[in-house]
Amino acid sequence: MASQRAVNIIKSTVARLYPKELAENAWDNTGLLLECPPQTSTITTTPEKIKVLLAIDLTRAVASEAIDSNVSFIVAYHPFIFRGIKAISLNDPQHLSLVRLVQAGISVYCPHTAIDAATGGVNDWLADGVSGGPAYESQRTVCTPPGSQNVEGHEDAGMGRRVELKTPITFGELVTRVKKHLGLDHVQVARATSLASDSQLISSVALCAGSGASVLRGIKADVHLTGELGHHELLHLTETGTSAIICGHSNTERGFLTVLQKQLTDALKQDYDGPSEVAISKTDKDPLEFA
């Protein structure tokens, strides 16, 4: 159980890295979604140790891991409270996790689309994988859904990215880059009707982590890269000359946790005068697998 000071520090540190104003607040639910009562204060001259657990999804397994590991705080990428709760039932696994975390005094912050949009966030990390690293020249621009406006002071932020490769690569090589970057053995591809073979050259990729259809709609590129797309969205792309690489919703996000771990570790060293530890959940995983 963390003290109120520790909770406030972690909350402000995450918000400094990924400001809430960058999130799609018209529909998303980001921020400190579970704030537990402060620990009974005791007089001590030694600052408490802050332990943070990172996960994509706050499942029952992740909640149990946090409790067993005696963490102070969970940063869960996806909001586990998304719509209004009218009653809390122990028959609901998400509600049960919430109750158990309250009893253990573990608060939860969910940054979601603030991380998607931010410079240096999930979509820039995806763009790094598409670009092939600093040894390869590329130019990236921000993709934003229709009606979205730039946030003052964050003009380079946005929900998606479009990468222009200075040296075109084959479609097959792009797929290999994506699988290597995400640590995947398999991805799904939808080839444009005009794509003759995997050896055809690709010079532009539009990308968005998670479910990117609304963000990438209307963005011209040789390939769209995202976690999931609907059947008819895929058909529209391939019929209009754009191929797609589909990796699974959380597969486009989970690898970023190692980046977030370093970012948050470094930031806490600046913001907190005591010891801290940031760990990645061992039980958090994609619910889908190949059988």
Binding-site residue numbers for a divalent metal cation are: 78, 116, 249, 253
DSSP 8-state assignment for residue 282 = S
- In our burial notation (b when 16+ CB lie closer than 10 A, e otherwise), range 116-143 reads bbbebbbbbbbbbbbbbeeeeebebebb
DSSP 23-40: S-TTT---EEEE-PPPPP
- DSSP alpha helix (H) spans, 69-137: 93-104, 113-117, 122-131
**C-alpha radius of gyration, the chain, whole number:** 20
The neighbouring-strand residues paired with 207 are 161, 225
Residue type, 135: A
CB atoms within 10 A of CB 170: 14
Judged by DSSP in three states, 160 sits in strand
Residues in the chain: 291
Binding residues: 78, 116, 249, 253
Round to whole Å and give the CA distance between 205 and 190: 14
Q: How would you class 99 by CB atoms within 10 Å of its CB: exposed for 0-12, middle for 13-18, buried for 19 or more?
A: middle
Token pair recorded at residue 19 = 């400001």
